[in-house]
């Protein structure tokens, strides 16, 4: 009979893998025919039925030549005889449900409890390098709620990929040139009167954002005036004096005009200081920041080289285009008629620069789903240019985030600034904590630290628990609820476990090194062990799919199961010392997995709440 647990760093061969291996060997013995790995379909047993692991029998009927029930019976007997920890099986129509021994889960817990990073893959020097681009702000406005989703997704994806054993490079592309930047510059030039962040008492990104809104407001007045004079809206928007001035400013910038360039640098520096403060509060950093003002030149040269080689064509107005109709798309402009670059120009250049700098095996772009078409074009253009690595580009397309009252618009000043939102979340955490009577025993400094932890944890978790592909509505007060699928609920569970260990220490009860393998587990205890047992697999799946919501909802399920166990069973007052020791170990493992899982989401968990 085969046993489990060959010595490895964190945990042994999972029982699902062992079952699969035994079936690959056993089915030819039973039926005289080989079986492929794809035909062995294992899944979690439905909660409505007895069992822990289910084998789907239907794919094996051609090999067995028997009914589903008879085939299930044969395989159940074989597995029970050959795997020590399969202690019972139940055949239900075309499904073989197997019961795994308590001993298996207890031994699993004994082995992994000693590791603070249980679930993380060992670092492999030969692992692939994944470059992740996220944030990618424009320097004409502060980061807002939409940017928060982008930053939180990018940061957590990086954490998760690293935990899965791969190398990660975190990059940011700052969109620091273009017509939108010039709008803020022109507005400040006209109406700023020399205002600075210091004189205004504002963060630099907020100040520059104010002038972006001001430009839009003034331009709308000019457009309305032109329309009243009989011009069409389209004509009015193109010929409004402010629009003509800002286009001229962009041309001057691209031609190296000293005055325009100096203003551009000054206002961008204001914004970078503001961005850095916001990133610091969010707990986010980058290995390298690229700037569009640098990379667009590389992209422009590459496009012109492609034009020279006949890959692109020049329109009669002088603009440069690529024809993608044979690839199922349409024609795309790569350089404007006046020679200025478009977004895809700098993305071509940036991709080349990154490949040369870090030689990544894959480049992941965390960008909203409104850019789906853009990234299809980018891959195709890079492929046309002969870059073999073009197919390694992956667009992590995520849905929009809105507030309950609807969409936000930067130009109209109706966005929710990231800084204001974080302040509001911490304020709400403070108010709700006081209302619920929490944190009463903490010092004022500890309270403020915990309010920050709760507020930002609520924000991050609420956003990351949603599958990235889905649009979502962010509700600040709902996110900070201490019950339900929220960050504060999970944080409170961690703090609750830590309180158990403080009480244990007060009563001179120590955390044991091993649990006795002959203990009989109740349903809740076994469920918690089964959930934690899956943590390494969840990390791998989340890394492969770039989906932090798998981690978030896994941790919630664990916290929910533990709270039900905590409510139904005593830990420190359990009279049987062996059971009490096992429950302490179970609590310790739960706390470690919660801490690790929330850490992958960029969320801190307090020891006291």
Q: CA nearest 72: which of 29, 28, 23, 4?
A: 23
Q: Which residues contact 128 (CB under 8 A, 6 or more apart)?
A: 166, 167, 361, 362
Q: Which residues contact 74 (CB under 8 A, 6 or more apart)?
A: 30, 64, 66
Q: What are the CB-based long-range contacts (under 8 Å, 24+) for 186-190?
A: 186/215, 186/242, 186/245, 186/246, 186/249, 187/211, 187/212, 187/214, 187/215, 187/218, 188/263, 188/267, 189/263
Specify whether 247 is located in the same domain as 177.
yes
Q: Is there a domain that residue 437 lies in?
A: no
Report yes or no: 396 and 468 within 8 Å, Cβ to Cβ.
Answer: yes
Specify whether 171 is located in the same domain as 54.
no
Specify whether 206 is located in the same domain as 337.
yes
What pLDDT score was predicted for residue 414? 53
**DSSP at 66:** S
Q: Which residues contact 439 (CB under 8 A, 6 or more apart)?
A: 433, 446, 447, 450, 451, 608, 609
Residue 141 burial (10 A CB sphere; 0-12, 13-18, 19+): buried
DSSP E strands in 392-523: the ranges are 393-398, 401-402, 472-473
Series of mean pLDDT values for 10-residue runs along the chain (609 residues) = 38 80 96 95 94 97 96 97 97 96 97 92 89 95 92 98 97 92 97 97 96 96 96 95 95 92 97 97 97 92 96 95 95 89 92 97 97 96 97 96 63 70 92 76 88 96 97 89 93 96 95 95 97 96 98 98 97 96 98 98 94
Tokens in use for 440? 């009463």
* CATH number, position 568: 1.10.730.10
Beta bridge partners of 98: 53, 89
* CATH number, position 207: 3.40.50.620
Q: In whole angstroms, what is the distance from residue 317 CA to residue 107 CA?
A: 74
Residue 376 structural domain? 134-402
What pLDDT score was predicted for residue 7? 32
Specify whether 287 is located in the same domain as 186.
yes
Q: Is there a domain that residue 89 lies in?
A: yes
Specify whether 93 is located in the same domain as 140.
no
Specify whether 283 is located in the same domain as 387.
yes
What pLDDT score was predicted for residue 4? 39
Count of domains observed in the chain: 3
Q: In whole angstroms, what is the distance from residue 257 CA to residue 250 CA?
A: 10
Q: Is there a domain that residue 554 lies in?
A: yes
Where is the domain boundary, 100, 122, 146? 100
* CATH number, position 53: 3.30.1360.70
Specify whether 140 is located in the same domain as 262.
yes
Q: In whole angstroms, what is the distance from residue 213 CA to residue 245 CA?
A: 17
Specify whether 41 is located in the same domain as 151.
no
Q: Is there a domain that residue 415 lies in?
A: no
Question: Rounded to 5, what percent of the chain is helix, strand, coil?
Answer: 55, 10, 30
What element of type H or E holds 106? helix 102-112
Q: In whole angstroms, what is the distance from residue 103 CA to residue 582 CA?
A: 12
Report yes or no: 53 and 99 within 8 Å, Cβ to Cβ.
Answer: no
Q: Is there a domain that residue 196 lies in?
A: yes
What pLDDT score was predicted for residue 125? 81
Q: Is there a domain that residue 344 lies in?
A: yes
What does the CA dihedral 355, 357, 358, 363 come to, rounded to 10 degrees?
Answer: -40
Where is the domain boundary, 79, 100, 121? 100
Q: Is there a domain that residue 141 lies in?
A: yes
Specify whether 562 is located in the same domain as 461.
yes
Specify whether 74 is located in the same domain as 220.
no
Specify whether 487 is located in the same domain as 570.
yes
Q: Is there a domain that residue 390 lies in?
A: yes
Where is the domain boundary, 100, 122, 151? 100
Specify whether 159 is located in the same domain as 301.
yes
Identify the sign of the CA torsion 220, 223, 228, 234.
negative
Cα 24–chain centre separation: 37
């Amino acid at each position: 009979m085969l046993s489990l647990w060959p010595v490895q760093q964190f945990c042994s061969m999972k029982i699902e893998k062992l079952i699969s291996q035994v079936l690959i060997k056993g089915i030819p013995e039973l039926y005289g025919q080989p079986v492929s790995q794809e035909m062995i379909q294992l899944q979690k047993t439905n909660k409505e039925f007895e069992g822990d692991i289910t084998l789907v029998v239907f794919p094996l009927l051609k090999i067995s030549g028997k009914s589903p029930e008879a085939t299930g019976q044969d395989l159940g007997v074989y597995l029970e005889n050959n795997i020590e920890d399969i202690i019972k099986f139940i055949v239900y129509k075309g499904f073989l449900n197997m019961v795994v021994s308590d001993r298996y889960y207890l031994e699993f817990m004994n082995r992994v409890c000693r590791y603070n990073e249980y679930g993380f893959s060992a670092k492999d020097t030969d692992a692939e390098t994944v470059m992740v681009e996220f944030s990618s702000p424009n320097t004409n406005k502060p980061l807002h709620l939409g940017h928060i989703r982008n930053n939180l997704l990018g940061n957590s994806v990086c954490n998760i990929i690293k935990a899965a054993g791969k190398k990660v490079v975190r990059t940011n592309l700052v969109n620091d040139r273009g017509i939108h930047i010039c709008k803020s510059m022109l507005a400040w030039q006209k109406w700023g009167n020399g205002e600075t962040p210091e004189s205004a008492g504002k963060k630099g990104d907020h100040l520059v954002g104010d002038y972006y809104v001001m430009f839009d407001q003034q331009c709308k007045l000019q457009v309305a005036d032109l329309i009243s004079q009989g011009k069409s809206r389209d004509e009015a928007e193109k010929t409004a004096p402010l629009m003509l001035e800002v286009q001229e400013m962009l041309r001057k910038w691209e031609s190296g005009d000293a005055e325009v360039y100096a203003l551009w640098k000054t206002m961008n520096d204001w914004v970078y200081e503001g961005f850095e403060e916001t990133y610091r509060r969010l707990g986010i950093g980058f290995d390298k920041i690229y700037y569009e003002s640098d990379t667009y030149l590389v992209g422009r040269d590459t496009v012109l080289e492609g034009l020279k080689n006949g890959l692109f064509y020049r329109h009669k107005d002088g603009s440069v285009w690529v024809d993608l109709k044979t690839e199922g798309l349409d024609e795309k402009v790569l350089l404007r008629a006046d020679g200025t670059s478009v977004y895809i120009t700098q993305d071509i250049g940036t991709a080349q620069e990154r490949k040369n700098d870090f030689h990544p095996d894959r480049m992941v772009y965390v960008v909203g789903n409104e850019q789906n078409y853009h990234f299809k074009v980018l891959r195709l253009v890079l492929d046309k240019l002969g870059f073999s690595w073009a197919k390694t580009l992956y667009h992590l397309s995520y849905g929009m985030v809105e507030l309950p009252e609807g969409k936000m618009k930067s130009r109209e000043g109706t966005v929710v600034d990231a800084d204001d939102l974080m302040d509001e979340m911490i304020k709400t955490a403070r108010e709700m904590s006081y209302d619920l009577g929490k944190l009463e025993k903490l010092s004022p400094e500890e309270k403020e630290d915990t309010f920050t932890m709760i507020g930002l944890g609520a924000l991050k978790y609420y956003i990351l628990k949603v599958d990235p592909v889905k649009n979502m509505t962010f509700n600040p007060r709902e996110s900070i609820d201490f019950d339900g699928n929220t960050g504060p609920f999970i944080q409170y569970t961690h703090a609750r476990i830590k309180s158990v260990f403080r009480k244990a220490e007060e009563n001179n009860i120590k955390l044991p090194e091993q649990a006795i393998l002959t203990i009989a587990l109740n349903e809740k205890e076994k469920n918690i062990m089964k959930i934690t047992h899956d943590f390494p697999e969840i990390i791998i799946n989340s890394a492969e799919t770039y989906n932090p919501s798998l981690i978030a909802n896994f941790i919630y399920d664990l916290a929910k199961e533990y709270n039900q166990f905590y409510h139904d069973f005593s830990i420190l007052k359990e009279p049987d010392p062996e059971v009490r020791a096992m429950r302490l170990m179970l609590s310790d493992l739960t706390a470690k997995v919660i801490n690790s899982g929330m850490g992958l989401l960029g969320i801190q968990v307090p020891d006291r709440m």
